[in-house]
Structure 1
């Protein structure tokens, strides 16, 4: 197989990295940068003061130990020195001069110290260290958010949330059996890495570069054609570390991921669906292809054990989100894990479901918002989510026509039924529409802002 495509991608990624480095925000003035170091919460001032106090006590202790009676000697020496200086140079000249020299030496020394630390920690970045520390501190103080789902919907949500908190845990379905993930699952026996790959890329610091690299698909090569680089990367990491959980943790460190990504279970889960016409469809990728109406959904094995780390994340969460994503093949598969749905039912924190904007053929044909909620309730056997976020305005006529050709329509907002279910309705414009293709997606930034505004009100 030729290595030219890979070299081309790596060259492109390197160029993008340099662009990102060049546009890194710089503090406009040197004075502002120094004032930032006095910002509360950095834990810098106290340690500098403690260091100076320690140095002073060290010198004082050494002087006392050798019986120099330092206080009297110091006062006498300083008195004589000042008297000599004022005789040689007038006080109105020597005083300001000493102050200026002292300030210069102090600022120069501290500036060189900070620059040395910055060069060691960020050799390839022009971003000021104080800006990095302030951002790090702000993100670490963000709420503990658990996001549950799969597919492209979950990764879209994570792209927005990571700007507001570093305490994010994504719990991802492992029921995918199509495409590159399905091939790796059948041929090697690993859990499908596709959805996990998307979430890792979304939470990475240099998301654009990593997404391009992870989404790169080999177009030639015996056995490689059709596989994405990200899937192969996670597969190799799984082989090296021993299981998918360790592979994700190791990959997160290598890729500087902001938050955690966890599979809902480590069991080899396979979806099945009972259709209203009596057919039993097995396999996640075949459910939507069956083009029928789903009456019941389950998985084999029927009660897969939840990943303990996923349960702990739910129990420690400040808020929980499920969706957006395909209802039966991305969202509900996580709830088929008994430990996950039981943990969701027990916690007393704000929980919200983000409803899809459009219906999906073979999965949610003619579904309303309340139909989505009822499907989740049937699996959980009780009301789990307190609120539902739905798109306020419909797509453009161009987008509606484009989707109608595929027999897809906006999910109908039935307010009365939602209220009857005892669920709070959150309406907002969180849609991003491609003007050229008419393709509709959730906007990551709008979605995150609306969610955090709702969370702060609860």
Structure 2
């Protein structure tokens, strides 16, 4: 059976858009794009592929105590794709209080893990919870194999686990997943092969944005698809893994470790308020911006993205949506 021809990547036509990432960054991106997947005319086909190397917090405890992949980032992205706010979607983010064994656990994490245990299938569990929540788009873990993110810095020191990698200081000389034989989810590979546009979400550089790309089959699927790859840059650098890195350093890391060719980068052009910048600087973060038109041959598209009402640096969903829609026709194809 012949594969359906890919639609040209144009903002006014239906697109098959695949976004990769983890944590709050991918959730923010999916939240900004879900209106395109739910509109009545020419809706986009929106797919999120979520990194599953988290070993901290509620997800890390469930992974250690019960096995399986960490559900936290999947739960965040499901909430972002919910068509309308509801008490059930609010429940997903509820965290138990107190000092008992449930303290700190997210109810959504427990629900998702329980569904996966009952069905014996993470894809089915996500689909069932998606149906209850009435979400738009599809969501897949990058792999259902419990993987550990590992890094080695330039001094030869190894950092094992996402938490340790996130706390280490750049530059990083090696980055990989264990077991190295971990296979990606076939549905994730197929979504990338059929993609008209691939978006790398903002988020922690090594532990979220690049982590999915460490699976060779996902790298190959992106390259084989011929789809343009759009990177949405962070608003701020993070203490630890991206401290002191500029936008060029981010692009070098993605290209070096992720082995993907970036077609364009969206970067924030709105100066952050002084008090916000000061709070981030006290923790080791800095605004991430660029005045260049191109970096390493990659077109740079500056847009106002900062949410002016948020108390922390966050992409405004309407501004991010507009930026992506306007950039799509300007991306090189092939």
The two structures share one fold, judged by TM-score above 0.5: yes
Structure 1 residues 252 and 211: CA distance shift in structure 2, 3 A: closer
* 1:252 alignment partner in structure 2: 130
Q: Secondary structure at the match of 1:204?
A: coil
Aligned equivalent of 1:449, options 313, 322, 329: 322
CA distance in 2, matches of 1:456, 1:352: 12
1-structure distance, mates of 2:227, 2:206: 25
Look up the match of 1:152.
24
Structure scoring higher RCO (CA < 8 A, sep ≥ 6) equals 2
1:377 correspondence with 2:255: yes
Q: Does the Cα contact within 8 Å between 1:304 and 1:338 map onto a contact in 2?
A: no
Structure 1 or 2, whichever has the larger Rg, is: 1
CA 389–345 in structure 1, closer or farther in 2 if over 3 Å, else same = same
Residue from 201, 216, 219 that aligns with 2:97 = 219
**Would you say 1:389 and 2:266 are equivalent positions?**
yes
Alpha-carbon deviation of 1:378? 0.7
Q: Structure 1's 219 and 321: CA in aligned 2 closer, same or farther, altered over 3 A?
A: same
The aligned counterpart of 1:298 is 176
State the 1:428 CA deviation.
Answer: 0.3
**CA shift at 1:412, angstroms?**
4.3
In the alignment, the residues of structure 2 paired with residue 335 and residue 246 of structure 1 have an alpha-carbon distance, to the nearest angstrom, of: 24
Deviations 1:374-409 (CA, angstroms, capped at 9, x unpaired): 10111234x522001111122111211111111211
Contact kept? 1:202, 1:211, Cα under 8 Å: no
User: Paired residue for 2:36, among 133, 143, 164?
Assistant: 164
Secondary structure of residue in 1 paired with 2:283: coil
Q: How many residues align?
A: 313
Within-5 A mapping of 1:316-327: 316-327=194-205
In 2: Cα distance, 1:392 partner to 1:196 partner: 30
Distance apart, 1:291 and its partner CA: 4.6
4+ residue segments displaced more than 3 Å: 207-211, 290-293
CA RMSD of aligned residues (A): 1.8
| Residues 209, 422 of structure 1: alpha-carbon distance in 2 compared, 3 angstrom cutoff | farther
| Partner SS state of residue 67, structure 2 | coil
Unaligned regions of 5+ residues in structure 2, if any? 1-12, 39-44
Contact 2:265 2:299 survives alignment (8 Å): yes
- 8 Å contact kept, 1:245–1:262: yes
SS in 1 for 2:265: strand
1:198 to 69, 76, 84: 76
- Structure 1 residue 221 displacement after superposition: 7.4
Tell me: CA distance 1:272–1:397, structure 2 relative to 1, closer, same or farther (3 Å).
same
Gap change, CA 1:433 and 1:275, over 3 Å in 2: farther
- 1:40-189 map, 5 Å: 142-166=14-38, 167-189=45-67
CA distance in 1, matches of 2:87, 2:235: 28
Partner of 2:157: 279
Q: Distance in 2 between matches of 1:221 and 1:179?
A: 14
**Which of these residues, 299, 304, 309, is aligned with residue 429 of structure 1?**
304
Answer yes or no: is the 8 Å Cα contact 2:150–2:177 preserved in 1.
yes
| Residues 1:310 and 2:182 are matched in the alignment | no
In the alignment, what sits opposite 1:404?
Answer: 281
**Which among 269, 292, 313 is matched to residue 440 of structure 1?**
313
Q: 2:118 aligns with which of 217, 240, 249?
A: 240
TM-score w.r.t. the length of structure 2 is 0.89
Partner of 1:145, secondary structure, is: strand
> Which has the larger strand fraction?
2
What is the rounded CA distance, in whole Å, between the counterparts of 1:284 and 1:239 in structure 2? 24
CA deviations 1:18-40 (Å, max 9, x no partner) are xxxxxxxxxxxxxxxxxxxxxxx
8 Å contact kept, 1:204–1:210: no
More helix by share: 1
Give the match for residue 42 of structure 2: none
1:360 aligns with 2:233: no
Residues 363 and 317 (structure 1), Cα distance of their counterparts in 2 relative to 1, 3 Å cut: same
1:263 alignment counterpart: 141
Conserved? CA contact 1:370–1:414, under 8 Å: no
SS of structure 1 residue aligned to 2:109: helix
Q: So what's the TM-score if we normalise by structure 1? A: 0.65
Contact 1:293–1:365 under 8 Å retained in 2: no
Q: Indicate the SS of the match to 1:205.
A: coil
